């Protein structure tokens, strides 16, 4: 399926994909493989920015379920995303790709604060920008942070690389008869509560007319295939 003409993309990666085959944390070899795919997209002429979740290290909502204050848990989760961003930055720079990490929570010793105009300039200069710490506020997911940054950066696509190869009408892990959508509207995703991204993120993309491309990042080389229109994915966009 052809992907709409694109110049600038935001790639949202689930934190869990950084674990590789591990049960927790960061697998440097797997991060290096992901970095190669991101570099290939950039070398193909795209301006690329990233948002990486923190679920491989800590999830605020999971901590809250065990009695941790939700706000505290969410801030801890934001710090986990900074750790993942630094790991990806390290892997990209080992490949010779200039990369900047910008955090919504200022921590000047390790990365830049989020400044939209500075991020725009980095992208124009051919650098990859990794946005960390979500929106900087509790009660918002990194999906919402990705949608927000995609809107602020005027991205043509928000690409969600996850463990599933698209959007299904039910959970394919529990229902072997689940059917994958080739294309689906924002409204259908929201009305049927399909587990693509959280509702706030989907609504934000709808309001700014940013298509969401959901695909599996675990399959090696899949990012390039999806960008060329050859891979398996689901595109979430407005009704034609």
Q: pLDDT (tens digit, 9 = 90+) per residue, 172-228? A: 888 888 999 999 999 999 999 998 899 999 999 999 999 999 999 998 899 999 998
Confirm if 26 and 87 have CB atoms less than 8 A apart: yes
Query: Angle formed by the axes of helices 199-207 and 142-152, to 10°?
Result: 10
Taking each continuous run of H as one helix and of E as one strand, the counts in the chain are 8, 9
What tokens does 198 get? 């959280």
Query: Angle formed by the axes of helices 28-43 and 70-94, to 10°?
Result: 70
Q: Are strands 212-216 and 233-237 parallel, antiparallel or unpaired?
A: antiparallel
Residue with tokens 């997911």: 141
Residue with tokens 């190869």: 165
Let me know if domain 8-237 sits in CATH 3.40.1160.10: yes
Confirm if 227 and 236 have CB atoms less than 8 A apart: no
pTM greater than the 0.75 cutoff? yes
Q: Which pLDDT belongs to residue 61?
A: 73
Half-sphere exposure of 147 (CA within 13 A, CB side): 23
Confirm if 46 and 9 have CB atoms less than 8 A apart: yes
Bridge partners (DSSP) of residue 44 are none
Q: What is the mean pLDDT of the chain?
A: 93
Higher-scoring residue by pLDDT: 63, 185: 185
């Amino acid at each position: 399926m052809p992907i709409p003409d694109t110049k600038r993309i935001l790639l949202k990666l689930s934190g869990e994909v950084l674990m590789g085959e591990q049960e927790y944390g960061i697998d440097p070899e797997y991060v290096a493989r992901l970095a190669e795919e991101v570099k290939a997209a950039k070398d193909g002429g795209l301006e690329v920015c990233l948002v990486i979740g923190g679920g491989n290290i800590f999830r605020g909502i999971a901590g809250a379920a065990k009695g941790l204050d939700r706000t505290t848990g969410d801030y801890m989760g934001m710090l986990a995303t900074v750790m993942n961003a630094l790991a990806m930055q390290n892997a990209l720079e080992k490949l010779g790709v200039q990369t900047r990490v910008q955090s919504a929570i200022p921590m000047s010793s390790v990365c830049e604060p989020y400044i939209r105009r500075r991020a725009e300039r980095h992208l124009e200069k051919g650098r990859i920008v990794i946005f960390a710490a979500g929106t900087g506020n509790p009660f918002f997911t990194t999906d919402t942070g990705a949608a927000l940054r995609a809107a602020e950066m005027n991205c043509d696509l928000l690409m969600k690389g996850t463990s599933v190869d698209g959007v299904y009408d039910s959970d394919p892990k529990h229902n072997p008869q689940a059917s994958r959508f080739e294309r689906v509207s924002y409204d259908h995703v929201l009305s049927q509560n399909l587990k693509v991204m959280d509702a706030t993120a989907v609504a934000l993309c709808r309001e700014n007319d940013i298509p969401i491309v959901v695909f599996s990042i675990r399959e090696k080389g899949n990012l390039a295939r999806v960008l060329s229109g050859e891979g398996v994915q689901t595109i979430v966009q407005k009704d034609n």
